[in-house]
Structure 1
Amino acid sequence: MTNTPAQPTAAGVDAVVPFAVEALDVRGRIVNMGPVLNSMLARHKYPAPVNKLLSEAIVLTALLGSTLKFEGRLTLQAQTDGAVSMLVVDFNAPDGLRAMAQFNADKVAEVAAQDGFKPDHLLGKGHLAFTIDQGAHTSRYQGIVVLNGTSLEEAAHEYFQKSEQIPTFVRLGVAEMLTKSEDGGAEHSWLAGGIMVQFLPQSLDRLKQADIHPGDAPEGHEAHQVEEDDAWVEARSLVETVKDDELIDPSLTVEGLLYRLFHERGASVYSPQPMADKCTCSEKKITAMMQNFSDADKAEMKAEGIVHIKCDFCSKDYELDANEVFKD
């Protein structure tokens, strides 16, 4: 196993680390997030169940977005009728992340109190969209997955199977950490991690996958089955054994996890790609957005004089003079 850079890449360093298992024709990525994740969550003060779901979405977006080979944006957006009605995470290449959620606090508390609660239970029926924007001179691409009791891991698998047609497996892990503060109280923080593996053989014949089960097939209908490539079955089966605590354990390095999984095959580890808490909002963008308001809204704001607009992602409050913004 090779490692670049020389220092071990420990959990919580806010970086995506690419790797390859050449013997299995597998490429993958591992992400560990700590301070950057907490920076994004702290400004919103969301309930813990929402933070856990949003953390999963941030990790998934970091895994997917870091594969972009260009200056562009990948957006994960969920809209549902559940306790969390909207979830948005943006990845702006090469390293910028921002995230927000909209939810009903009473419904969140009710769902979270149920036995066997999992973060995806906060998502009701709806859809999850993965949007890739490569810039002004290219077409925007969007893949949509139906949500109906679907976890973010399952949604990612379906997205790659339908849209990319690449055998892909994703594991996500999130944990809330409680530490004693100087005043004797408890300080809350979060750790999150994820691993994604993809089967990328040279021969397209080896990429065969079973069709996604239609869900409403008549009784007696046999699901489509294919004989998957042995190398992919081995790689996926190994990653399926990864536990949540292995993804968020600060003492477990990326190399240590990969050695446990692939020591018989050997894995190559490449330079980490740092992640950062970066919002793309600006006074210029806010001003441009305000130009789209109706004439009635513009007149009302001009009468008020000073208007305050808060960014949903970074919570920055913009104080603008409406008479300057809408001057003739």
Structure 2
Amino acid sequence: MRLGFAAFSAQGYALAQRLAQVLGGTATRCGVDCPLRDWIREAFSRYEGLVFVGAVGIAVRAIAPYVQSKTTDPAVVVVDEGGRFVIPLLSGHLGGANGLAHRIAAAGGGSPVITTATDGRGLFAVDSWAKEQNCHVMEPERIKGVSGKLLEGETIWMRCPWAVSGLQPEGVLLGEAGDCDVEVTLSPGKDPALHLVPKILVLGVGCRSGVGKETLAAAVAQTMERLHFVPQAIARVCSIDLKKEEPGLLAFCAERKLPFLTYSPEELAQVTGDFTPSEFVRQVTGIDNVCERSAVLGSGGGPLLQRKCKGDGVTLAVAQIPFQPEWRW
């Protein structure tokens, strides 16, 4: 998590520096290094977590113009200058502010002050669980309904095709058939469940030089539709290092905030499996297949869900990162 620490006094800045050193991040003394309004304007989109060392009121006024949605806002945490109390202020679950508060408290010897209802009563927090399992929440507006049932003492039903390890939380039952409250899936339907999509798909890409991002986007959309998967399940894009500066690929990944990894022909050659060979590709790149090999390598050896498909100067393959959810949130 990329962290930015803001402090306002010498004592607060000293604490911010200590926390930044332990947790990783950048400490700024607003009013000395730069005005607070300038810092927050850049920090709100730059960092995944903002930590204010000072008064809650200062943090509230600073972030107010920028708050938009629990799905996009960064985690915001406030720590008093003495480091005694650590208060998650924004994006406690999806943004990870509650977890960040616990980390800060452990690093500084303070006490986390958690105010979200499910956490306060020790209940299963479905949005925290989704973040911990690296899942995208398709319908964040449905989180309230799931949490509301748990807070009222009701049971929620979850469907998950992957085995979930650990101790199953109170109030949560796993089921395979019928209606459910929460479903972990790569193919969300139109039912009223809260759908959680694990980000476990890796795209292996080969392309003609100069292919535009629109062409790439169309090819990816067609492939995902064929597999009945949603694009939110894509974790990263991989290719050969000959394509590491390919403008269309870089633009496609940048727009979607997807990591783009490339490998040498020697690395791709070491990947074991049954791949679709091409003598033309071998002559150009030094390896018989780029998209399938890079997808498997980028997934950590996961299975191929889509072998090489091609069109409009693009070849695509899809592999799955091994997914082992657990009852931790």
TM-score, structure 2 normalization: 0.23
Q: Which has the higher contact order (CA 8 A, sep 6+)?
A: 1
TM-score, structure 1 normalization: 0.23
